[in-house]
Amino acid sequence: MKILVIGSGGREHALVWKIRQSPKVEKIYCAPGNGGIGEIAELVAIGPEQIEALAGFVKREKIDFTVVGPELPLTLGIADLFEERGLKIFGPNRAAARLEGSKAFAKEILKESHIPTGRFETFSDALSAKKYLSQMSPPYVVKADGLAAGKGVLICASRKEAEAAIDEILVRKVFGSAGDKLVIEEFLEGEEASFMVLTDGEQILSLASAQDHKRVFDGDQGPNTGGMGAYSPAPVVTADLHRRILEEIFRPLLSGLKKRGICYRGILYAGLMINGQGPKVLEFNARFGDPECQPIMMRLKSDLVPLLQATIEGRLDQVKAEWREDAAVCVVLSAQGYPGCYEKGKKISGLENLKDWRKGSVFHAGTVKKDGDWLTLGGRVLGVTALGKNIGAAVKAAYWAVGQIHWEGMHYRTDIAQRALEREKGKSGKEFIAAS
């Protein structure tokens, strides 16, 4: 079987790494991929937004199916195009991907499906948006409607800051047409968790729970990023909460989509805020979370390929996913300055020390190999991902490996999985594992 993975980050490296272990697979391509992925797959120089060119490549090479990593091609309608041409693809169609592509649309569906989420209102005019602020209390949450490379959510401490955010989005158009509308939302307190499921529109197969670390600095300080580290399982998602997430969020969501004539096929990611009142939805993504995908792929015992095929073919009820009891932790190594401006082309040393690393893998997010040297090529550069018998052991293994790697300006958080470690100390192992 031949498979194409679209994308170029740590998520895609982890997907390619896992797919490659399948006995069903004879060849894997990745478009466009990155240096690290190039070691285990054939790279194809087509960007994720070139959906016509991707369809042409798949047809020519007789690829059995395609797996979409990032959201952009999904919102451009890659699944619709492939389906029209009779090509199999893992990822939702354009209508379904609006759950990620439009925050206003996601909030509408949440509201009409009675799914717990923060109180909100949508605006396209700055004056009305500013007026609405008087019905909210600080901190104010202002979100650009469309895709804004992870930068479209502004949490504002004061009314003045929130008014400035509204002007930035609706008047100055800093996010372009992604800011034609915005959502003002109630600020939710609690602990965040990422919950992903595979769905064929009818059936749901939940993946192991995970937790991400959005802020760039230790102690959740500094600006939001794509994610500075992740771990799985997330002990905040107890067995009871797991059940509630499926019953109160995913099932009504699929019914709500169906009522609108939308069938969601692919991975569906809910960013949740969890507190004493239960889980509430912060956002949806139409793809695997990154870096969450890295620890999750490492914990997946089953072959991923039949799971992806069952999703595409609408027979998820016929497959099961088995998970390792081990925990997995991913520490992201990023370039100095990320998520703002950063330099590229720094020489990375130490990767050779980890070639035979038994406890984990180093997934590449932004690297290139030049004349035998590894160079940095992105904001997030590597995802050092380790397994351990519990979160503590996985943290130790991951940070040991981080200690082997160096480049000028390398940055990482030193507190990945701290919250889970605190919970782990206080709970029995059984309760902890129930979280997966």
Element (H, E) at 368: strand 367-370
Which region among 12-20, 141-149, 284-292, 320-328 touches ligand GLY (by CB under 6 A)? 284-292
The angle subtended at Cα 346 by Cα 344 and Cα 352, nearest 5°, is: 130
Partner whose footprint covers residue 213, from ligand GLY, ligand AMP, none (CB < 5 to 8 Å by kind): none
Shortest distance (Å) from residue 333 CB to ligand AMP: 21
**Using the rule CB under 6 A, is 12 a contact of ligand GLY?**
no
77, two tokens? 């309608």
**Using the rule CB under 6 A, is 285 a contact of ligand GLY?**
yes
Measure Cα distances from 417 to 231, 328, 329, 334, 420 in Å: 6, 10, 7, 17, 5
**What residue spans of 28-125 are helical by DSSP H?**
51-61, 71-75, 78-84, 94-101, 103-112
Choosing from 9, 38, 227, 339, the residue that interacts with ligand GLY (CB under 6 A) is 227
Partner whose footprint covers residue 71, from ligand GLY, ligand AMP, none (CB < 5 to 8 Å by kind): none
Which region among 162-170, 179-187, 327-335, 350-358 touches ligand AMP (by CB under 6 A)? 179-187
State the number of binding residues for ligand GLY (CB under 6 A). Answer: 7
Q: Shortest Cβ contact with ligand GLY: which residue?
A: 227
Partner whose footprint covers residue 42, from ligand AMP, ligand GLY, none (CB < 5 to 8 Å by kind): none
| DSSP string for residues in 181-250 | SEEEE----SEEEEEEEEESSS-EEEPPPBEE--EEEGGGEEEE-S-SEEEES-TTS-HHHHHHIIIIII
Reported in sequence order, the residue ranges of 213-355 that DSSP labels E, i.e. its strands, are: 215-217, 221-224, 229-232, 266-275, 278-285, 327-334, 347-348
Question: How far from chain centre, in Å, is Cα 197?
Answer: 12
Q: Shortest Cβ contact with ligand AMP: which residue?
A: 283
**Using the rule CB under 6 A, is 292 a contact of ligand GLY?**
yes
Q: What is the dihedral of CA 121, 249, 98, 271, to 10 degrees?
A: 80
Half-sphere exposure of 67 (CA within 13 A, CB side): 31
The angle subtended at Cα 247 by Cα 245 and Cα 252, nearest 5°, is: 105
Shortest distance (Å) from residue 428 CB to ligand GLY: 29
**Using the rule CB under 6 A, is 289 a contact of ligand GLY?**
yes
**Using the rule CB under 6 A, is 290 a contact of ligand AMP?**
no
Ranges within 97-126 binding ligand AMP (CB under 6 A) = 118
User: What is the DSSP code (8-state) at residue 168?
Assistant: I
Which residue, 51, 11, 8, 50, is CA-closest to 29? 8
Which region among 32-40, 109-117, 198-206, 285-293 touches ligand GLY (by CB under 6 A)? 285-293
Choosing from 72, 81, 109, 153, the residue that interacts with ligand AMP (CB under 6 A) is 153
Choosing from 33, 69, 226, 378, the residue that interacts with ligand GLY (CB under 6 A) is 226
**Using the rule CB under 6 A, is 282 a contact of ligand AMP?**
yes
Q: Toward ligand GLY, which CB reaches closer, 209 or 309?
A: 209
Q: What are the residues binding ligand GLY (CB under 6 A)?
A: 212, 226-227, 285, 289-290, 292
Q: What are the residues binding ligand AMP (CB under 6 A)?
A: 118, 141, 143, 153, 185-188, 192, 214, 224, 271, 282-283
